[in-house]
Chain A
Amino acid sequence: MTLNTWIPVLALMTSLIASLVIFALPEKGYRLRTAVNLGAALLKLGLVVVMVWGVFRGVGYGVSFTMVPGVTFVLKADAFSMMFAGLSAVLWLLTTIYAVGYLEDSPNRSRFFGFFSLCVASTMGIALAGNLFTFFLFYEMLTLSTYPLVVHRGTEKALKAGRTYVIYTLTGGAVLLLAIAWLHGVVGDLPFREGGHFTGSDPDIHRSLTLIFILLVAGLGVKAAIFPLHGWLPQAMVAPAPVSALLHAVAVVKAGAFGIVRVVHDVYGVDASSALGLLEPLAWLAAFTIIYASVRALWQVDLKRRLAFSTVSQVSYIILGVSIFGPVAAVGGLVHLLHQGIMKITLFFCAGNYAETLGIHRIDEMDGAGRRMPGTSVAFTIGAFGMIGAPPLAGFITKWTMGSGALAVNMDWVVVVLVASSLLNAAYFLPVLYRLWFRKPAAHWPHERQWGRLETSAWLFWPPLLTAVMTVMVGVLASLPFSPLSWAELIVLREYSP
């Protein structure tokens, strides 16, 4: 076994071992726990950077062994896994910093950070999984490790949300397992492969393939929150802000979207999916989700609930992008995996800051908060404009690329969806920004805390600002090598000309 075999395993292990160590640490070991957390996050980031560079140059990283005859466990790093792994590594680091500040003095931190690391280990596994079976293992591990985070507060509402979450995701998992087993029965164990496996496949199995595809998408669509499987997500926002940030931006919804992209690109292959007539219905479903969730977001008065519906809408961009049969649109979809993550985590960090510092949860309490918390509010503003798709931010690059791609393959209606979504995003974000910057603040904030020099705790202050800067940078510098856009182009190049 060479080093290249071990690097993906190590990247997976960093979070896993960190998780075990944290569980073992006493509740009071604040400094040690923080050190372990940050150390592991930094180490993982380093490993991912090494792999990104390697994958770019064409180095193969991977390990596989047979579990039972016919079923293999495969870890493998390709361009697409590195996109998800990179997102997970960068945002895990920032979320850890944020969570340390957010949970200061709250009970059960040991449990929280343990499951937190476990959850990140699962996303790493999902990213590096080399076949559907391995993917499924980590996908379920993600469900189990996020449940304790969702119910962390232990309130009635949290427990109820947790119940909904588990029912949705376990059912989704069961459907996914059924689909994977069926597929295994039909064609055997298939590794993920750029270009897929079913181009020019036997017409006899087309019927089965179509049904399996529907089941796969249904199973994965629960986490990706595709309509009508999105019901758990707005409820799950009762979780603490860092968890929401992680659920929405990185771990759970992205795992679903990532899985769907894997199925379309690397199991079936875009050509075969398109030939089977599977892409167009998926595109319509995604488009409907985009519009539907944006309309729902308009009516939410709770900030985090509004953001949750926004997530439902935005994640479907990724699915819309891959279900348009054309390379440029696919780039637009894939790049949104990163873009949405960065923008949405900014917004959730900010929502958490308002809640922790001023006790603000509802949008009508946000009047004039821009003067009290300018840094957070600038970050929120950038995130919101990014979501709207205002240039030159991340969301604009997504929309421009996807729109160009859709036009290139004569799917003009996609542009209408993109514009309608932008308008709806403007309709539900701009009033919030107006309140932040132009309304007079109420006499008292609902529950204000003071932190000295900065507007809030430094642990909470810097992460959203950093991600806001990233939101600007990934847009402005979109044409640099290793920008999300360039990386998505690399993935698609390898997919469309395997």
Chain B
Amino acid sequence: MMLPEPLLVIMAVCLPLLYPAMALRAAWERAMRYALPVLPLPALVLALGSEPGWQLEMPWLLNGGLWAVDGVRRLFLLLTAVLWMVAGIYAVGCLRPDHLRRFCVFWGLTLAGNLGLTVAVDIGSFYSFFALMTFAGYGLVVHEGTNEAIRAGRVYLVMAVLGEMAILTGLLLASAAAGSQMLADLPEAIAASPRRDLIMALLIAGFGVKAGLPLLHFWLPLAHPVAPTPASAVLSGAMIKAGLLGWLVTLPFGEVAMPGWGALMIVAGAVGAIGAAVLGVCQQRPKAVLAYSSISQMGLMVLMVGVALADSGRAPVLFSVIALYALHHGLAKGSLFLSAGVSLPAGAMRRAVVWLLIALPGLSLAGLPFTSGALAKLAMKEGLLENRLEFALAGYLSPLMTAGAVATLLLILRYLWTLSAKLGTGHNPPMLVAGWLAAVGVSLVAFWWMPWEAGGLVESPVWLPAPYQLWALVWPMLIALGLALLTLWASRLVKQR
């Protein structure tokens, strides 16, 4: 299908960017609420309906603007558009009327930033959209106005400003080294630059703040849970991925092997994946558990980034796996966050169905067969097969991934446990339910029709894993289940005394 892509991309960015103007009239408040789900529509059409390869040149923009979509960006764009849309539907149902217009303004601006940065190919507009998303996101975090939210917002803002500065300096150094204002020229220039390590450190740390890299993650478990539920979903599902995308488009993958940086990222990823799980299972509140789960999942993606850095030959393959994993995680995590705000219906049968729908995206994260998680996990496993990799840490990857899978399921079980204590019985606004069901449906069903590429890593048919793969997926889950039961039993014993 032929589409006027340049027009679509301008609409995709400008619609949410101009939408806040509706706040000028108090009478449009209702319209503003109902417009929320429509905002990502052009972006969705763009991501689904157009083949990558077009570009839009805007020589008058900043230092020369260029917007385009390639295979990896397309998946990020799709994830962003879909998640913001289902969260938007959900928001229509769940938002309270106080400060509604303010919330919508920040929602639109944050969305514009998040969409824009996935299509921006020049440094100026990429960084502009990134900053827009960061600063407007503050408004979503502190929206509830509680002391806790304000404190979380402060930590968020301080970390965000520091991150922005690191990114700015890194981009400035890289751009000066490249003598170019385009992102595509940076990797080569960074690889050849005498300041390579400084630039790498700045970019990894700067984007790492957004991506929840261990030690830079403090803000994340504070900020993601305090935001209103739909905002939590997009924060943890889509915006966290912006940091990941930042790495993918700037770091010198495939230029030169960097075992040192690769090892550092692998260690960071491992610490994130497992450390966050340890901290996460200690959390009392469901959304905080999910925030730690996001850090843990990002840890696995950081791991893959590290491998791609260490082994430049594998980078192209790993890119599609990372994008696939990001898509899978974003959709599943979005559904999980949205489920934190639903109320249970009366009637045992209905309750069971709701609980099943709450649990399924979580189990998908843990790699349940026939889910997107199984596909992503298998693709990751194949992508990281040690006999194909050539660097020192390669032998540790397999046990790390297993540990990661155990950690994932433990966190999900913890989430369900804390949620069961919190969920009340009651009536849900219809739009809220619609948004949540849409999220679950997209994560479990529509995912299979999305344009991801498993790159020949996973044997077809993808949805039916081979027996050995099945076992590889299931046994970490059994361990986690065993651990959870053990904990439960131990806590019973303690209570009885």
Contact = CB atoms under 8 A, between A and B. Distances in A.
A430 B157 contact: yes
Contact of A403 (B127, B150, B153, B172): B172
A17 to B, nearest CB: 39
A391 B157 contact: no
Interface in A457-485: 475-480
Interface string B82-122: 00000000000000000000100000000000000000000
B470 interface: no
Interface in A370-396: 374, 385, 389-392, 396
Nearest to B173: A407
Contact of A422 (B64, B150, B165): B165
Contact of A390 (B60, B135, B162): B135
Contacts of B23: 374
Interface in B110-156: 124-125, 127-128, 131, 135, 139, 142, 145, 150, 153
Contacts of A391: 62, 124, 127-128, 131
B146 to A, nearest CB: 12
Interface string B169-186: 100110110000000000
B165 A423 contact: yes
A423 B165 CA distance: 8
Interface residues of A toward B: which range? 20 to 34
Contact of A438 (B63, B145, B165): B145
Given A419-B165, A478-B62, A479-B61, A392 B128 contact: yes
A479 B60 contact: yes
Contact of B63 (A389, A407, A478): A478
B168 interface: yes
A77 to B, nearest CB: 27
Contact of A476 (B62, B64, B164, B165): B62
Contacts of A419: 165, 168-169
Contact of A477 (B61, B127, B161): B61
Interface string A430-451: 1000000110000000000000
Contact of A392 (B62, B64, B145): B62
Contact of B131 (A390, A407, A408): A390
A404 interface: yes
B59 interface: yes
A407 B172 contact: yes
B63 A408 contact: no
A320 to B, nearest CB: 16
Contacts of B142: 438
Nearest to A440: B145
A426 B131 CA distance: 13
B213 to A, nearest CB: 20
A392 B120 CA distance: 13
B63 to A, nearest CB: 6
Most B CB within 10 A of own CB, among A391, A476, A479: A391
Interface in A133-182: none
A385 B127 contact: no
Nearest to A425: B161
Contact of A479 (B62, B161, B175): B62
B374 to A, nearest CB: 41
A126 interface: no
Interface string A396-433: 11011001100110000001000100110010001000
A385 B135 contact: yes
Nearest to B106: A437
B161 A400 contact: no
B139 A397 contact: no
- For chain B, the bracket of interface size reads 20 to 34
A426 B62 contact: no
Contact of A415 (B61, B131, B162, B169): B169
A478 B175 CA distance: 17
A438 B151 CA distance: 13
B62 A475 contact: yes
A479 B64 CA distance: 7
B339 to A, nearest CB: 28
B59 A404 contact: no
Contacts of A397: 62
Contacts of B168: 389, 399, 419, 422
A415 B172 contact: yes
Contact of B172 (A404, A476, A478): A404
Contacts of A400: 63, 124, 172
A415 B173 CA distance: 9
B206 to A, nearest CB: 11
A350 to B, nearest CB: 18
A404 B175 contact: yes
B484 to A, nearest CB: 40
A263 to B, nearest CB: 29
A125 to B, nearest CB: 34
Nearest to B177: A407
A192 B204 CA distance: 48
Which residue, A392, A397, A415, A423, has most C-beta atoms of chain B within 10 A?
A392
B124 A408 contact: no
B322 to A, nearest CB: 26
Contacts of A475: 62
A479 B176 contact: no
Nearest to B175: A404
A365 B142 CA distance: 21
A437 B145 CA distance: 11
Contact of B176 (A392, A399, A407, A437): A407
Contacts of B127: 391
A477 B145 CA distance: 36
A479 to B, nearest CB: 5
Contacts of A478: 62-63
A477 B131 CA distance: 18
A404 B165 contact: no
Contacts of B176: 403-404, 407-408
A389 B173 CA distance: 17
A100 to B, nearest CB: 25
Contacts of A480: 60
Contacts of B64: 479
B136 to A, nearest CB: 11
B161 A423 contact: yes
Interface in B29-68: 59-64
Nearest to B64: A479
A79 B348 CA distance: 80
Contacts of A426: 161
Contacts of A438: 139, 142, 145, 150, 153
Contacts of B125: 392
Contacts of B169: 415, 419
B165 to A, nearest CB: 5
Interface in A98-140: none
Q: Which 3 A-B pairs have the closest CB atoms?
A: A391-B128, A407-B176, A392-B128
Given A404-B172, A419-B165, 11 more contacts: A390-B164, A391-B124, A391-B128, A392-B62, A392-B125, A403-B176, A422-B168, A438-B145, A479-B59, A479-B61, A480-B60
23 contacts: A390-B164, A391-B124, A391-B131, A392-B124, A403-B176, A404-B176, A407-B172, A407-B173, A408-B176, A415-B169, A422-B165, A422-B168, A423-B161, A423-B162, A437-B139, A438-B142, A438-B150, A476-B62, A477-B61, A479-B60, A479-B61, A479-B62, A479-B64
Interface of B: 23-24, 59-64, 102, 124-125, 127-128, 131, 135, 139, 142, 145, 150, 153, 157, 161-162, 164-165, 168-169, 172-173, 175-176
